[in-house]
Structures are given as C-alpha cells and as structure tokens.
Amino acid sequence: MIDTPSSSLDKQPIGNVKDTPSIKDSTTLPPAKVVADDQEHDHPIHPLAQLSSPRKNFLLFIFSVATFVDICNVSGAAVAVAEISMDIKLGVSQVVWIITSYSLCFAAFLLFAGRLSDLFPAQIVFEAGFLSLGIISLITSFVTSSKYGFLVLRGLGGICGAMTIPSAFHLVVHMFPNTEQQQKKLALMSLAGGLGNVLGLVLAGLCMEASYKWFFRLIAIICTTFTIATIILLPYTGSSYSTKHDAIPRWRRMDVPGVILMMGSLICFILALTQGPIDGWDSASFIAPLVISVPLGIAFFFWESRIPPRTAVLPSSIWKITNIIILSLAVMVAFPFWATSQLAYSTWWQEVYGWSPLHVAAAMLPQGIVCLLAAAFAQAVPQVLTKPRWTIAGGMILIVIAEILQIFSDGGPGNKYWRFCFPAFVIGSFGAMLVYFASGINIVTYGPPEMAGVMGAWVNVLAQVAGAITMAVQAGLQDTTSVPPKWSKSGSRTWYFMIAWTVVLAMQFVVFYKEPGTPEEEHELARKRILEKDGDIGV
C-alpha cells in the first residue's frame, strides 16, 4: 500500500500558497494565507530541520518502522486468521472481522488523525499512537476467550495505528524541508509499507511456529521500543497551529461530528455486509445496519459541504480538483486484490490442506516481492505516473487476467499452485501496484500542494475501505454447506465478483478521464474554482 504525505497540510500552504502570484496578489487574500505568510517569516527554519543528519535519518527509520507495523497488522493477520478464528470461535463468514475490525477503524480515524497532527504537537500524536498500539497489541495476545473482546481490541489498535501515519509524515516534511530531499525520504516510508506487506506474512508465519499470540507480542515489543527511542531523540517543538490571525477555535477545527458520522456509516455498512450471509439477507441484523448506514453517509457529506472547508475533516473543496472522482474510484481496485487473495488462500491452505503458517507465508511471498519490483519499475519509467490513463487501464487488465487464473486454480493443490496461483500473484500484484501508484500519486500531484495532507489521507481511506467492503462481500460468498468446502463454491465466487468490480471501475476511468494540464496549471484552476465557491483556498 502506498503511504502518501497525509499530514503535510499545515506545512505545504506556507510555501505553495505564498509563492502563487495569482493568489498572493489577490485583493481578497483569505485569512489562512495571512497566517501562512506570518508563520513563514517568524520561523524561516523549523527546529526539526536543524537536527543533525544521523539523528534525522534514525527518526526517519522509526517513522518507517511505524508504517511497516501498520501494514503488518493487516497482512500478518491474514496468515493467522484460521488459527485465531478457531481459538476465539468465529464462524466461517465472520473471520473477515479479524482483518476488517483493524483496517476499518484505521481508515475511519485516518482523516481525524491528520487533523490532530495539524492542530496539536505532531510528536505527541505519534508517540501516543505508537505506544498505545504496543500496549493494545500486548493485551490482544492474552484476550482469546472472547471474540468480541478480541475484535474490539483490534479496532482500537486500528485507531492507534492511524495516529502514527499522518503525524509521521507531518514530522518528516518539517525535518526535510528541501523538496527533492523530502520526496526521497517520503519514498523510503512508502517502501516500508511495501516491505510490511511482504515481511508481515513471514513474521506472522515465524511467530505462529509457537503461537499466533507471539505475533501480537512482537508488535508490542517493536512499538514500545521505538516509542522510547522517539521520546529520547525527537525534541518537543509544540504545535504549528496559530490563532493569531484565525478566529476559528481549535476545537471547532477537529470536526468531531464529521468523524462520528463517517465512522458510524462505515461500521454499519460493513456490519450489514458481514451479517447478511450469516443470518440471511432478509434478517434484521442485515437490514437494520444497512438502513442506518445510508442516512449517516449522506449526513456526513452534507455536513462536510455546509461547514467552512478549513474546519472540515474532508473539505468539500477537494471535489473541485480535476479527475478527483474517477481517480478515487480507481484507487479502490488495487488493495482489494491483495486483501481478498491473501485472506482466501491463507485460510484455504491451512484449513483444507493443513499447511503450516510459515508454508502459507512462503507461498504468498511472490505478491509482496513483485510489489517491490513494480515500485522500482515506476521509479525507472516516469511514464507510469505521467500517463495514468494507460497505466491504470493496463494494470486493471493484468488484475483481471490474475483473477481468471485464480478461478481455475482449485485452491492451488499440487502443481496447480505453479500453473495458476504463482502467475496470478505475479501478474496481479504487478498490475495492482501500477494502478495504485498511478491513481494515488496523481490524486496527490494534481491537488493543490496546500491540500496534500487531505489528499494523502483520502487515498489511504479509499484503499482501506475498498479492502473492507470486498472482503465482507467475499465472506458472504463462502460455501458453508459442503464438507469439505468446494473451491468452485467458495474461492471462485470471489474472483468472479472481483472481475466485475475491476471491470466496472476500469470502464468508468477510461470513459470519463480528462487529459489534464501540467500540475501547476491544474493547481491554479483548482484554486480558482475553490475560491469562486468557498471564498478561501479550502484548508
């Protein structure tokens, strides 16, 4: 998964808004830009930028470790779901909650965590989130007698994990203010996320040689150790938020109502999709949360459109950016491919074939390794990012080919792993990574730089929510009548659904994509549209 600079919100306006002639010379300069100019002169060099290079690089390593851990909590859990579900007595269709309870809360809280990092000292947000994730992981390893307690703790862990991502990007942006150097450092953090997707499987497999509980205990040790190192090495610099020229109180800019509406809508929606196949599509446990989720979702977007953009957790001004809607939908293709395939095969291999978790992790490794190769390919071939129409269309074709191969894999027995699963993992992961790079990075690139924090958080939210939705649908398609289960009635159904999901999102992108101008031209056009509608820049 790509991690984008989701908390550079209050850094970016300082340089980019101020240096834009059409905005600076305007006679109706919004208050937000006055604050930015004032802060630029008061603090020409951020204290974090003055740290020694070894100290900054080690802190960057810690922030990368936090990114690594967040991805491990998803990919590692995919290997352990079979053992965990038996231990805490989850039904076949309920095992998806072992992953979605974490990823859903992570996604729902991410935008709010970015807001906290902008309004309060980012180092406190990071340290609190990282340490809390360690403590909760340790407690989780001992709560195996109650499925509800386990799933609640996983959700709390997702909230804590969300606190580390935007705050880490916020701190890195200030530590490395030079644009070229900053991009390289942020790329290293993104690489850590890719490594988490690979090594999370291996770490979980190794830990499960003893017990899956040691996976959570290892996470606890990592979080606690590096939190202590952060407290020692990272100086307290306070908050970058200032009320000198802004009459809006800090508490109003946290947008608590928006966060509550968004989390409520997402949780009810996924709960409905999960409970439908268990209790029936005409049951109250499906209909009630679905009915509740719809008005909550509508209320969220209505609320965000009515409040001042600078106080919104998801400013309505982002919809003024070229191609934002179709690119957002394209982002929702890649992560579901990894999530559904890892969950389906890791569970099938352990429960049907009796494979060990370490064996499962080794069989899944091609997915993660190819992701790293795709990332290197994107760096070597700039057209991957500058020609998104062809990159995204081509990547989606590769994903469809991979899904077709998985239909005929029969779960990968014998040489069918090498004939179907292995090429599907290689082809599909390469395509998914290209799609994710092209869509996610173009969302951030073509949004005005002063909105980079919002755009980066939005990309991560879309990826997590898409994975949660598709895994919930996958759970509803599982065969619970045959003993042993049949691949044609379980796994294959998932891939037919994923083919339809991918094709629909690919078609909307190819049909509606508009060839944009240069990023600078698009920034100006977006700013103009935002100013005409909202009267300020929107952050």
Residue 11 placed within a domain: no
Distance CA 297, CA 300 (A): 5
Q: Which of 306, 328, 347 is the last residue of a domain?
A: 306
Q: How far is CA 120 from CA 172, 233, 238, 300, 460, in A?
A: 16, 19, 7, 24, 21
CB 476 within 8 A of CB 277: yes
Same domain? For 410 and 445 the reply is yes
Same domain? For 266 and 362 the reply is no
Same domain? For 335 and 292 the reply is no
Residue 142 placed within a domain: yes
Same domain? For 155 and 228 the reply is yes
pLDDT digits (tens, 9 = 90+) for 253-264: 777 888 888 888
Q: Which of 265, 284, 306 is the last residue of a domain?
A: 306
Distance CA 74, CA 287 (A): 28
Residue 19 placed within a domain: no
Our count of domains for the chain comes to: 3
Same domain? For 168 and 213 the reply is yes
Largest CA distance in the chain: 73
CB 7 within 8 A of CB 122: yes
The CATH number linked to 199 is: 1.20.1250.20
pLDDT digits (tens, 9 = 90+) for 464-521: 788 878 877 887 777 666 666 777 777 778 889 999 999 999 999 988 988 888 777 7
List the domain range (segments joined by +) for residue 285: 256-306
Percent of the chain with pLDDT over 90: 20
pLDDT of amino acid 15: 37
Closest CA to 257 of 315, 312, 317: 312
Residue 173 placed within a domain: yes
The conformational region for residue 315 under phi > 0 = left, psi -120 to 50 = alpha, else beta, is: beta
* pLDDT greater than 90 at residue 227: yes
Same domain? For 181 and 107 the reply is yes
* pLDDT greater than 80 at residue 66: yes
Same domain? For 70 and 146 the reply is yes
Q: How far is CA 491 from CA 61, 127, 347, 458, 485, in A?
A: 39, 41, 11, 30, 10
pTM, to two decimals: 0.74
Closest CA to 493 of 512, 510, 473: 473
* Section 189-212 average pLDDT: 78
CB 210 within 8 A of CB 4: no
* pLDDT greater than 90 at residue 88: no
Same domain? For 335 and 276 the reply is no
Residue 13 placed within a domain: no
Q: Is the bond into 47 cis (omega within 30 degrees of 0)?
A: no
Q: Which of 205, 236, 267 is the last residue of a domain?
A: 236
Residue 244 placed within a domain: no
Same domain? For 134 and 281 the reply is no
Residue 83 placed within a domain: yes
Same domain? For 366 and 404 the reply is yes
* Total residues found in the chain within this entry: 539
Residue 126 placed within a domain: yes
Computed over every residue of the chain, the mean pLDDT equals 78
Same domain? For 182 and 218 the reply is yes
Same domain? For 382 and 500 the reply is yes
